[in-house]
């Protein structure tokens, strides 16, 4: 009985439901929450735009463009790996066996497009050509076939050098998201030697005024097996390199903020948190000014950027993910280590129209945790000051050929610091 009683009491104790007061008057005095916007001169300094992060081959995609935005030319370069030397096929008796005596009779080069990111609304014509000059996928540019440490070799002609045309084809986005170029056996054979550094495909856009994004380029071979000559089998060749070259390369912005592009652009700026606030009037009326902020009183902090139309050639055609991270050692720029993201792994998604027709839109980039650290100041144990430099970059680097632009310091739409501050009297006993 005693044990049961004890168990009853202990059991009830585990299912506590705290009383919820129905009288708001017993709660402490309500704090005041106000919004403060601090202009660039009040918090920001040393804004610089840095480029050169990553290369087109890091993107794993291709672009083709012809006078897009009036000037952009882009071509996709692809190279394929070792051809398959056997195939599993059924012989005339219906038995599946591995045939190592296959004969390659031709093939197809298939380009897969990102229909959303591509700017064309109707059919466009593309041309496939075979590269003739040795090139390096990691360093190739519009003018250079190779541009690596210790070796720099320009194309014989800008844009990929001499090319043997293998035909044209038309892609209509209404028909699907892929386009095939038919290859004969001789054309396929030109790419079989993997020791040949000049082998490769170049895809050009013939129709002017568009920019197309290629998600992938694949080489499919057609082969006749020796064990069943009446059958044609299709074999895939592994990708080796996929990159693109383009012209003109965008010049660094004389002012403003740039994020994205290939190679990637970053914008770096220093943030100085005001030690005291002297407004707005609502804040002063509530708690008196000046107000010395404590970290926990910063309920929200955001860098407010105003979008700006990007050069038409590089205007985004799909959403761009914006990331913001603290720069841990500014003196090491442009290769300074970065801290953890302040906006999550998906970043802040921005609609492409912000950098075109809807320019002038305010974009808030939350930096609350960063600013709270800044307000808290140096660590009491290590005496180490928190970083006060931020890097604005794309969520993946490189992210896309296009980039995002914002107005910079000196402009009427210069970046601002938006704070939502909550302050109130200390909690007291009744």
Q: Catalog residues that contact other proteins under the rule CB under 8 A.
A: 1-3, 5-6, 8-10, 12-13, 15-28, 30-31, 33-35, 282, 296-302, 342-344, 348, 366-369, 372, 420, 422, 424, 426-430
Distance in Å, CB of 156 to other proteins, minimum: 52
Longest pairwise C-alpha distance within the chain: 99
Distance (Å, whole) CA 387 – CA 179 = 50
Distance in Å, CB of 422 to other proteins, minimum: 4
DSSP-assigned letters across all residues of 95-159: -EEEES--EEEEEEEEEEE-TTT---SS-EEEEEEEE-S---TTT--SSEEEEETTEEEE-SSTT
Q: Number of C-alpha atoms within 13 angstroms, CB side, residue 320?
A: 31
Exposed / middle / buried, residue 404 (Cβ in 10 Å: 0-12, 13-18, 19+):
buried
Tell me which DSSP letter residue 10 carries. H
Look up tokens 């070799």; give the residue.
153
* Contact (CB, 8 A) for 409 and 255: yes
Distance in Å, CB of 371 to other proteins, minimum: 10
Closer to other proteins at the Cβ: 119 or 299? 299
Closer to other proteins at the Cβ: 253 or 415? 415
* Contact (CB, 8 A) for 265 and 401: no
Distance (Å, whole) CA 293 – CA 300 = 13
Distance in Å, CB of 47 to other proteins, minimum: 21
Q: Tell me whether the omega of the peptide bond preceding residue 263 falls within 30 degrees of 0, making it cis.
A: yes
Distance in Å, CB of 224 to other proteins, minimum: 59
Distance in Å, CB of 2 to other proteins, minimum: 5
The secondary element (H helix, E strand) that includes residue 188 is helix 185-189
Distance in Å, CB of 76 to other proteins, minimum: 36
Residues in the chain: 430
Closer to other proteins at the Cβ: 39 or 344? 344
* Contact (CB, 8 A) for 425 and 29: yes
Distance in Å, CB of 381 to other proteins, minimum: 16
Beta bridge pairs of residue 78: 201, 242
Closer to other proteins at the Cβ: 36 or 217? 36
Closer to other proteins at the Cβ: 224 or 259? 259
Closer to other proteins at the Cβ: 25 or 383? 25
Closer to other proteins at the Cβ: 15 or 345? 15
Closer to other proteins at the Cβ: 24 or 254? 24
The secondary element (H helix, E strand) that includes residue 59 is helix 56-59
Closer to other proteins at the Cβ: 8 or 385? 8
Closer to other proteins at the Cβ: 193 or 294? 294
Closer to other proteins at the Cβ: 210 or 348? 348
CB proximity list for 400: less than 8 A, separation 6 or greater? 59, 117, 213, 260, 261, 262, 316, 318, 320, 394
Q: Angle 335-399-75 (CA atoms, 0-180°, nearest 5)?
A: 110
Distance in Å, CB of 299 to other proteins, minimum: 5
Q: What are phi and psi of 159, to 5 degrees?
A: 100, 15
Distance in Å, CB of 9 to other proteins, minimum: 3
Beta bridge pairs of residue 53: 264
Distance in Å, CB of 17 to other proteins, minimum: 4
């Amino acid at each position: 009985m005693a044990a049961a009683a004890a168990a009853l009491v202990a059991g009830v104790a585990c299912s506590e439901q705290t009383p919820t007061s129905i009288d708001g008057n017993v709660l402490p005095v309500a704090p005041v929450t106000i919004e403060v916007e601090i202009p660039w001169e009040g918090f920001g300094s040393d804004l610089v735009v840095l480029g050169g992060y990553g290369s087109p081959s890091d993107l794993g995609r291709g672009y083709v463009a012809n006078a897009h935005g009036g000037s952009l030319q882009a071509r996709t370069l692809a190279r394929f790996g070792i051809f398959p030397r056997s195939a599993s096929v059924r012989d005339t008796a219906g038995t599946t066996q591995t045939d190592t005596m296959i004969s390659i009779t031709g093939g197809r080069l298939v380009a897969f497009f990102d229909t959303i990111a591509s700017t064309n609304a109707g059919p466009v014509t593309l041309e496939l050509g075979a590269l003739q000059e040795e090139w390096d996928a990691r360093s190739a540019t519009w003018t250079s076939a190779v541009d690596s440490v210790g070796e720099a070799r320009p194309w014989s002609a800008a844009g990929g050098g001499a090319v043997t045309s293998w035909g044209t084809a038309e892609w209509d986005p209404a028909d699907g998201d892929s386009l095939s170029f038919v290859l004969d056996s001789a054309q396929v054979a030109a790419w079989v030697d993997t020791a040949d550094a000049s082998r490769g495909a170049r895809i050009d856009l013939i129709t002017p005024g568009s920019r197309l994004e290629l998600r992938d380029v694949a080489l499919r071979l057609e082969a006749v097996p020796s064990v069943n000559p009446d059958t044609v089998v299709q074999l895939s060749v592994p990708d080796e390199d996929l990159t693109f070259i383009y012209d003109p390369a965008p010049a660094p912005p004389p002012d403003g903020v740039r994020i994205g592009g290939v190679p990637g652009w970053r914008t770096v700026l220093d943030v100085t948190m005001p030690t005291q606030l002297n407004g707005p009037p609502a804040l002063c009326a509530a708690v008196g000014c000046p107000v010395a902020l404590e970290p926990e009183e910063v309920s929200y902090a955001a860098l407010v950027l105003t979008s700006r139309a990007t050069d038409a050639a590089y205007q985004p055609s799909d959403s761009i993910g914006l990331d913001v991270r603290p720069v841990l050692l500014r003196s090491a720029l442009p290769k300074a280590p970065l801290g953890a993201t302040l906006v999550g792994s998906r970043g802040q998604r921005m609609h492409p129209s912000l950098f075109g027709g809807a320019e002038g839109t305010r974009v808030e980039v939350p930096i609350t945790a960063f600013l709270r650290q800044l307000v808290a100041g140096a660590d009491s144990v290590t005496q180490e000051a928190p970083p006060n430099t931020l890097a604005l970059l794309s969520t993946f680097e490189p992210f896309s050929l296009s980039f995002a632009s914002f107005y910079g310091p000196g402009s009427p739409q210069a970046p601002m610091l938006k704070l939502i501050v909550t302050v109130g009297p200390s909690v007291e006993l009744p």
